[in-house]
Structure 1
Amino acid sequence: MKKILLLLHTLRYLKPIQIYGRIWFRLHHPHVRPVSGAQVRTHTRPMTRFVPAKQSIFVPDSGLETARSESTSRALLADCVFKFLGDEHQIQQPKDWNCETKEKLFLYNVHYFDDLNAVGWAQRSSHHTALIENWIADNPGSGPERGGNGWEPYPLSLRIINWIQFFERLETVPEHWLNSLATQAQYLFKRLEYHLLGNHLFTNAKALVYAGCYLEHHEACLNKGLSILQKEIPEQILADGGHFELSPMYHSIALADLLDLINLARSYPQQIPDAFTNTLTKVAQDMFAWLLNMQHPDGQISLFNDAAMDIAPDYQELAAYAKSLDLALPLTAGTAHYAKHSGYVTLHSQELCCIMDVGNIGPDYIPGHAHADSLTFELSLFGQRLLCNSGTSVYGTGPERLRQRGTASHNTVVVNNRNSSEVWSGFRVARRAKPFDVKVDISTIGYNATQVFAAHSGYRRLAGKNIHSRQWSFGPGSLTITDKLTGPFDSAVAYFHLHPDIHVDISPTGIELRMKSGQTVQLRTSGGIMQVEPSTWHPCFGASIPSNRIAITFKKAQIVTQIAWKNAPLNP
Structure 2
Amino acid sequence: MPYGKKSTGTELLAGRWCFAGQTVDVGAHGHPFSVSMPSERYAGWIHDFDWLFDLLTAQGGAAKAGQLAVQWADLFAGGNSFVFAPDRLARRGLNWGRALSALPDPTGQLAARYAGQMRALRRALSRVSPGLPMLRAQAALVIFGARLNDKAETVLARALDGLDEEITGQILADGGHISRSPMATLDALEILMGTDAVLQAAGLEGSRALGRAIDRLMPMVATLRHTDGAMAVFHGGHEGDPDRVSALLRGRDGGESDPQPFAYGPHTGYHRLDAGESVVLIDTQSVAPRPYDLDAHLAPLAMEISTSEGRLLVNCGWHPAAAPDWRRPVRASAAHSTLTLADRSPGEILEDGFMADALGAVVAEDSGIVRARLKEQSSGIWLESSHDGYKDAHGLVHRRRLFVGEDGGDIRGEDSLFVPMGDAPLSRDPVPFALRFHFHPDVRVSLAQDLSSALLVQNGRSGWRFRTDGGPLAVEPSVYLAGGARPVRCQQLVISGNALGDGDGQGRDNRVRWSLRRLRGRST
Cα 1:287/1:98, change in 2 over 3 Å: farther
**2:69: which partner in 1?**
132
Cα 1:491/1:256, change in 2 over 3 Å: same
CA distance in 2, matches of 1:396, 1:539: 9
**1:7: which partner in 2?**
none
Q: Contact 2:348 / 2:365 at 8 angstroms: preserved in 1?
A: yes
Cα 1:165/1:439, change in 2 over 3 Å: closer
Give 3-state SS (helix, strand or coil) of 1:363's partner: coil
**1:4: which partner in 2?**
none
Q: Contact 2:319 / 2:485 at 8 angstroms: preserved in 1?
A: yes
Cα 1:140/1:479, change in 2 over 3 Å: same
**2:162: which partner in 1?**
228
Superposed CA deviations along residues 238-261 of structure 1, whole A, max 9, x for unmatched, are 111111111111111111112112
Cα 1:60/1:394, change in 2 over 3 Å: closer
**1:86: which partner in 2?**
21
- Deviation, 1:158, is 2.5
**Residue in structure 2 matching 1:256, options 182, 190, 206:** 190
Alignment of 1:526 onto 2:459: no
Superposed CA deviations along residues 368-392 of structure 1, whole A, max 9, x for unmatched, are 1211221100012344321011121
Equivalent AA in structure 2 for residue 115 of structure 1? W
Cα 1:218/1:483, change in 2 over 3 Å: farther
**2:86: which partner in 1?**
153
**2:331: which partner in 1?**
405
Cα 1:312/1:137, change in 2 over 3 Å: farther
**Residue in structure 1 matching 2:342, options 409, 416, 419:** 416
Query: Structure 2 stretches of 5 or more lacking a match?
Result: 352-359, 419-425, 500-508
Q: Contact 1:470 / 1:481 at 8 angstroms: preserved in 2?
A: yes
**2:505: which partner in 1?**
none
Equivalent AA in structure 2 for residue 356 of structure 1? I
Equivalent AA in structure 1 for residue 344 of structure 2? R
Q: Contact 2:397 / 2:417 at 8 angstroms: preserved in 1?
A: yes
CA distance in 1, matches of 2:321, 2:350: 12
Q: Contact 1:253 / 1:313 at 8 angstroms: preserved in 2?
A: no
Cα 1:125/1:257, change in 2 over 3 Å: closer
Alignment of 1:199 onto 2:129: no
**Residue in structure 1 matching 2:435, options 487, 490, 494:** 494
Alignment of 1:354 onto 2:286: no
CA distance in 1, matches of 2:383, 2:493: 22
Alignment of 1:484 onto 2:421: no
**1:301: which partner in 2?**
231
**Residue in structure 1 matching 2:42, options 74, 81, 106:** 106
Cα 1:558/1:195, change in 2 over 3 Å: farther
- Deviation, 1:126, is 4.8
**Residue in structure 2 matching 1:266, options 195, 200, 203:** 200
**1:35: which partner in 2?**
none
**Residue in structure 2 matching 1:333, options 261, 266, 272:** 261
Superposed CA deviations along residues 293-321 of structure 1, whole A, max 9, x for unmatched, are 22111111111111123369633111335
**1:442: which partner in 2?**
375
**Residue in structure 2 matching 1:375, options 283, 288, 301:** 301
Superposed CA deviations along residues 362-412 of structure 1, whole A, max 9, x for unmatched, are 233310121122110001234432101112135689432111222111001
**2:384: which partner in 1?**
453
**2:402: which partner in 1?**
472
- Deviation, 1:343, is 0.8
Out of 374-383 and 491-500, give the one that drifted further. 374-383
Superposed CA deviations along residues 154-188 of structure 1, whole A, max 9, x for unmatched, are 22222223223333124544333222211111111
Q: Contact 1:193 / 1:204 at 8 angstroms: preserved in 2?
A: no
CA distance in 2, matches of 1:341, 1:212: 32
- Deviation, 1:418, is 1.4
Alignment of 1:171-250 (within 5 A): 172-193=105-126, 196-217=129-150, 219=152, 221-250=155-184
Q: Contact 1:350 / 1:382 at 8 angstroms: preserved in 2?
A: no
Give 3-state SS (helix, strand or coil) of 1:442's partner: strand
Superposed CA deviations along residues 69-104 of structure 1, whole A, max 9, x for unmatched, are xxxxxxxxxxx332222222367999966967513x
Cα 1:395/1:490, change in 2 over 3 Å: farther
Q: Contact 1:388 / 1:410 at 8 angstroms: preserved in 2?
A: yes
Task: Give the TM-score normalised by structure 2.
Answer: 0.83
CA distance in 2, matches of 1:247, 1:197: 15
Q: Contact 1:468 / 1:483 at 8 angstroms: preserved in 2?
A: yes
Q: Contact 1:537 / 1:547 at 8 angstroms: preserved in 2?
A: yes
**Residue in structure 1 matching 2:492, options 549, 553, 557:** 549
Q: Contact 1:107 / 1:149 at 8 angstroms: preserved in 2?
A: no
Q: Contact 1:249 / 1:311 at 8 angstroms: preserved in 2?
A: no
Give 3-state SS (helix, strand or coil) of 1:225's partner: helix
CA distance in 2, matches of 1:287, 1:420: 29
CA distance in 1, matches of 2:454, 2:398: 25
CA distance in 2, matches of 1:189, 1:218: 16
Q: Contact 1:500 / 1:537 at 8 angstroms: preserved in 2?
A: yes
Equivalent AA in structure 2 for residue 453 of structure 1? E
Superposed CA deviations along residues 256-295 of structure 1, whole A, max 9, x for unmatched, are 112112212212344x45xx1x443332222221121221
Superposed CA deviations along residues 327-386 of structure 1, whole A, max 9, x for unmatched, are x9655435xx11111111101122221111101222333101211221100012344321
- Deviation, 1:562, is 1.9
CA distance in 2, matches of 1:205, 1:397: 30
Q: Contact 1:154 / 1:200 at 8 angstroms: preserved in 2?
A: yes
- Deviation, 1:500, is 1.5
- Deviation, 1:120, is 2.6
Q: Contact 2:249 / 2:259 at 8 angstroms: preserved in 1?
A: no
Q: Contact 1:527 / 1:555 at 8 angstroms: preserved in 2?
A: no
Q: Contact 2:6 / 2:58 at 8 angstroms: preserved in 1?
A: no
Q: Contact 1:338 / 1:344 at 8 angstroms: preserved in 2?
A: yes
Give 3-state SS (helix, strand or coil) of 2:327's partner: helix
CA distance in 2, matches of 1:536, 1:392: 10
CA distance in 1, matches of 2:59, 2:316: 37
Q: What is the RMSD of the two structures over their aligned residues, measured on CA atoms?
A: 3.1
Equivalent AA in structure 1 for residue 384 of structure 2? F
Equivalent AA in structure 1 for residue 293 of structure 2? P
**1:38: which partner in 2?**
none
Q: Contact 1:57 / 1:82 at 8 angstroms: preserved in 2?
A: no
CA distance in 2, matches of 1:318, 1:549: 33
Equivalent AA in structure 1 for residue 385 of structure 2? A
**1:120: which partner in 2?**
57
CA distance in 2, matches of 1:168, 1:398: 36
Task: Give the TM-score normalised by structure 1.
Answer: 0.77
